[in-house]
Amino acid sequence: MPTPSSSPSPPPVAMDALSQVLQDFRLSGVNYGRCELRHPWSIGFPHQDLLRFHFVSKGPCFIHTEAQGWQPLNDGDLVLLPQGIAHRLASSPHVVNDCLKECQVVGLGGNVCEVVREGTGATSTLFCGSMALDAYALHPLINLMPPLIKGCDVAASDPIIGPLLEAMTVEASQPRMGSATILSRMADLLTARLIRCWVDGADSSTIGWLAAIRDPHLGRVLAAIHRDPGHGWTLESLAALAGQSRSVFAERFSTVLGEGAARYLAGLRMQLAREWLGQGNQSVAAVAGRLGYKSEASFARAFKRITRVSPGIVRRTNSGRIGMEFGS
């Protein structure tokens, strides 16, 4: 949308807003499993609030979700489940008994394991992972993405995806010293590129978070506040970052996002606060400090006003992180 002539020109930008978001893309709490499974096999993955992916180096392999039923996965296919919905992998849709308890699970160091199921049937070689995202800016984007994305469906325009998948096939099928580490680094890059491919091909709506991150003015603002939600942002500083006048920025933000910048920022902070408090390893005072509040009391008032519950209750009720073991 053109900026009125009375508004100052936006400052030069070294990279687009999505690149600013993705430059902080890191996977944390990651668990990878390199799987050698002989037919017949089937493994169920319950819902987790984590991003999941599965890469098929060699089949046979099928994936099942409640919404889409069984789908075949070919050699070299990768599927991404951004919200970690419940699903099942199997060597055939007719195999229903879960075999994970029959598998040998051996740690390969760090957060990587090898999952082996002996037998006489055809061997499937997979590389699977579950992960949390460190980049706060990615959370709204992840929530907008479909529950299951097949890499081959969104990556046709990216010349890097194909060679990356081929390289992952080699590392997964011919493991050598350091293969687990190399595969995990490839997974970081591959996931980031698939997210970008999906954004490039997604519906170009004029409102909502995706429209805002694509906007040359609002995009840099969203990237900044999501990367540093505890900064002392004001309407004036956000308008300056957008390269717009205060009034033009406030109106544009509300039109595209459906709420004012101050309310959006407060909601983001409370969303993060609830997540951090639920992990149970940070005090209320520590969370308040991370989010830029000068006192625990002012943070507690804001938290209760927005969430209708006190931060202390959230911390006591939801202590402990979600387990991230393979297949659990």
pLDDT in tens, 35-56: 999 999 999 999 987 889 898 9
> Does the pTM exceed 0.75?
no
Burial readout 35-49 (b: 16 or more C-beta within 10 A, e: otherwise): bbbbbbbbbbbeebe
Are 157 and 91 contained in the same domain?
A: yes
Are 129 and 229 contained in the same domain?
A: no
Token readout for 197 is 């491919």
328 in any annotated domain? no
**Mean pLDDT calculated for residue range 305-320:** 81
Are 245 and 172 contained in the same domain?
A: no
10 in any annotated domain? no
Query: What are the pLDDT digits (tens) for 242-296?
Result: 999 999 999 999 999 999 999 999 999 998 898 888 877 899 999 999 999 999 9
Percent of the chain at pLDDT > 70 equals 83
Averaged confidence pLDDT in the chain: 82
CATH of the domain at 249: 1.10.10.60
Are 55 and 187 contained in the same domain?
A: yes
Are 214 and 165 contained in the same domain?
A: no
Q: Which of 147, 171, 201 is the last residue of a domain?
A: 201
Query: What are the pLDDT digits (tens) for 95-144?
Result: 988 998 889 888 776 677 889 999 889 999 998 888 776 555 567 778 88
Are 48 and 196 contained in the same domain?
A: yes
Are 251 and 185 contained in the same domain?
A: no
pLDDT of residue 202: 74
Are 282 and 144 contained in the same domain?
A: no
Q: Is-contact 188 228, C-beta < 8 A?
A: no
If one counts the domains in the chain, the total is 2
For the ranges 11-15, 22-26, 228-232, the lowest mean pLDDT is seen at 11-15
Q: Which of 201, 227, 249 is the last residue of a domain?
A: 201
CATH of the domain at 141: 2.60.120.10
Are 49 and 152 contained in the same domain?
A: yes
- What residue numbers bound the domain in which 159 lies? 22-201
Are 193 and 233 contained in the same domain?
A: no
